[in-house]
Amino acid sequence: MDLLDHRATKMRAALEEARLDELLPQVREQLPVPPSTAFTLLSLIFREAAAEGINLLAPPEGFHGWLLRAARLNHRGPEAKANTVRLRLSLLSTIYQQAIQAGILERSPLEGLRRPPGERAGVPLLGREQVVALHAATRGDPALHAALVLIDEHAYRVRELLLLQWEEFDLGTGAALRPHTVTRLSDAALRALQALHQQAGGLFARGKVFPYKIERDLRAALHAACRRAGVPYAPPGDLRRASLRDHVHSTHSAGFSAQTGQANLERSTRLAQGVAAALAPEHERVQGEQSRIHTKTD
């Protein structure tokens, strides 16, 4: 039995018997959070499945309703918030996608699941001046600087960044191979990548572009950079939304597929701009109050 067959066998048994501790080692590299965090988030779902005899590989009728109830459970206190439920479902979706790739499922049991609406963040997206300040503060860290510029110039997702290989770039033509298209990199993105490319060995650069093993590593570096720049911490997803808000993207420049990408791009752009518009009145009110305070002080 080769390694792929062994992994598939382990995943099958762990899903059938709701053994999360045996499942997570098989998918840990694909998870957006550390395995310990994933275990904390998913343990109650798997505990309920084991207690009720739910086969997570071949769930029974009514599975979606059961899953939404289980995903709302908390270790203590009231029900989990909507964003926590969405994160739990997202992690489970990632596991099912890995099961599909391993050949033990043909389709995800989560297809058609209606997730609870996300909670609107109480903090507005960074403004363009703040994004520029953040980029300036990261010039001494070529890897982080290049990652942030790719997010801003071409709406890269974190998972894309973590998987990027130098072989997927042609720095001579500026072409970048992405999961759904080929992007012609902007001059700013090319400059940022060329600096990192030289650091990685220039013509001899091979393998992963970025040093981050998991998303948490990138977030930690970003958090420190936000402090240095004197701007509020903005996770990579918020920086991507700021890109969609501020730049005029095509499906190719933002990495969307040619088939359905235009509709998805327009929807994502509307959402990003809508969040900014919805939060603008509150932002203006706060600025007005601060202005009045400074006037009184002066």
**82 and 139 co-located in one domain:** no
Q: At which of 53, 82, 101 does a domain end?
A: 101
Per mean pLDDT, which range of 99-113, 221-235, 254-268 is the poorest?
A: 254-268
Residue 288 has pLDDT above 70, yes or no: no
**97 and 195 co-located in one domain:** no
CB 242 within 8 A of CB 134: no
Q: pLDDT value at position 135?
A: 96
Give percent above pLDDT 70 in the chain.
83
Higher per-residue confidence, 78 vs 265: 78
- At 201, list the tokens: 């060995």
> Checking DSSP bridges between strand 175-177 and strand 182-184, what pairing results, if any?
antiparallel
Angle, in degrees to the nearest 10, between helices 236-246 and 215-229: 70
Q: pLDDT value at position 96?
A: 94
Per mean pLDDT, which range of 29-38, 54-63, 214-223, 256-265 is the poorest?
A: 256-265
Q: pLDDT value at position 205?
A: 83
**186 and 228 co-located in one domain:** yes
Residue 257 has pLDDT above 50, yes or no: yes
- The tens digit of pLDDT for each residue in 19-45 reads 999 999 999 888 877 888 889 999 999
**79 and 137 co-located in one domain:** no
Q: At which of 82, 101, 120 does a domain end?
A: 101
**Residue 259 belongs to a domain with what CATH number?**
1.10.443.10
Q: What is the mean pLDDT of residues 226-245?
A: 93
**Is residue 122 assigned to a domain?**
no
pTM listed for this prediction:
0.54
154: domain range?
Answer: 128-286
* Overall number of domains in the chain: 2
Q: At which of 57, 82, 101 does a domain end?
A: 101
CB 89 within 8 A of CB 80: no
Q: What is the mean pLDDT of residues 165-182?
A: 90
Residue 149 has pLDDT above 50, yes or no: yes
**95 and 134 co-located in one domain:** no
CA dist list (Å): 190 to 140, 153, 154, 187, 212: 17, 10, 11, 5, 20
Q: pLDDT value at position 166?
A: 93
Higher per-residue confidence, 225 vs 246: 225
Higher per-residue confidence, 118 vs 190: 190
- The tens digit of pLDDT for each residue in 240-256 reads 999 988 888 888 888 88
Buried b (16+ CB within 10 A) or exposed e, 184-211: ebbeebbebbeebbeebeeeebeeebbe
Residue 262 has pLDDT above 90, yes or no: no
Q: pLDDT value at position 111?
A: 92
**Is residue 106 assigned to a domain?**
no
Higher per-residue confidence, 141 vs 277: 141
> Checking DSSP bridges between strand 182-184 and strand 169-170, what pairing results, if any?
unpaired
Comparing C-alpha atoms, which of 251, 288, 214, 178 is closest to residue 31? 214
**247 and 134 co-located in one domain:** yes
Q: pLDDT value at position 133?
A: 95
Task: For residue 178, give the DSSP letter.
Answer: -
**Is residue 40 assigned to a domain?**
yes
**Is residue 261 assigned to a domain?**
yes
**Is residue 46 assigned to a domain?**
yes
**201 and 273 co-located in one domain:** yes
**174 and 97 co-located in one domain:** no
**Is residue 69 assigned to a domain?**
yes
Q: pLDDT value at position 282?
A: 35
**67 and 148 co-located in one domain:** no
Q: pLDDT value at position 71?
A: 94
225 CB-near residues (< 8 Å, 6+ apart)? 134, 137, 138, 141, 144, 148
pLDDT band of residue 298 (cuts 50, 70, 90) is very low
Q: What is the mean pLDDT of residues 63-79?
A: 89
d(CA 37, CA 7): 22
Residue 6, classified by CB atoms within 10 Å of its CB into exposed (0-12), middle (13-18) or buried (19+), is exposed
Residue 142 has pLDDT above 50, yes or no: yes
- The tens digit of pLDDT for each residue in 72-117 reads 998 777 788 888 898 899 999 999 999 999 999 999 999 999 888 7
**146 and 244 co-located in one domain:** yes
Task: For residue 208, give the DSSP letter.
Answer: B
> What rounded mean pLDDT belongs to the chain?
85
**178 and 232 co-located in one domain:** yes
**Is residue 121 assigned to a domain?**
no
The answer to whether the Cα torsion of 66, 69, 71, 75 is positive or negative is negative
**Is residue 137 assigned to a domain?**
yes
**192 and 243 co-located in one domain:** yes
